[in-house]
Amino acid sequence: MEDLEELKRAAYDHCIQFVSERLGRIQLQIKELEIALSSETKSSAGDKHETGRAMIQLEREKLGQQLSELEKTQQLLSKVPKYRDSQTIGLGSLVITDSFSYYIGISAGEYKHTTKSVYCISAATPIGKLVFGKSVGHTINFNGKTNSILSIH
């Protein structure tokens, strides 16, 4: 049981690190674009200059949207309870099935622990929707495969 609680904490930490790393990358890209935008000098080819600035501005807007989405993900992660002791699956649950293990928090991909892999998923994902609110003993059917929920932590 203690090993699974450690796995759950490690999966949560993986989600935190996932968001932090993405946040750092996006902020760095925005800074690089701002430097590129400020170093764009007016040349004799005015249209070429304006096109370059417009392209940089479009890229900056895309990064701004990604940053906004990531901030929403960060807010959701801050609401995930670190310690959840429940008979039904919800945010913060570590779900063990006969095939896979899932941590219900945010979509942060696979976390490989020393002995087991856990898929960090959002409650809004197809699997998250299937397992949310279920309890031990329930079965889920996904992609033609049936899995039993063995334990919830």
Q: d(Cα 34, Cα 30) in Å, to the nearest integer?
A: 6
Label residue 48 by pLDDT band (50, 70, 90): low
Q: At what angle do helices 2-39 and 46-79 cross, to 10 degrees?
A: 160
What is the reported pLDDT for 41?
57
Instruction: Give pLDDT, residue 29.
Output: 94
Q: Which residues pair with 152 in a beta bridge?
A: 95
Query: Do the bridges between strand 145-152 and strand 139-142 make them parallel or antiparallel, or are there none, so unpaired?
Result: antiparallel
For residue 68, the enclosing domain spans 1-153
Task: Quickly list DSSP for 22-63.
Answer: HHHHHHHHHHHHHHHHHHPPP-S-HHHHHHHHHHHHHHHHHH
For residues 98 and 81, is the Cβ–Cβ distance under 8 A? Answer: no
Total tally of structural domains belonging to the chain = 1
Half-sphere exposure in the Cβ direction for 97 (13 Å, CA): 23
Average pLDDT of the chain, as a whole number = 89
Q: Higher model confidence: residue 96 or residue 44?
A: 96
Query: 36 falls in which pLDDT band (50, 70, 90)?
Result: confident
CATH number of domain containing 121: 3.10.50.30
The amino acid occupying position 46 is G
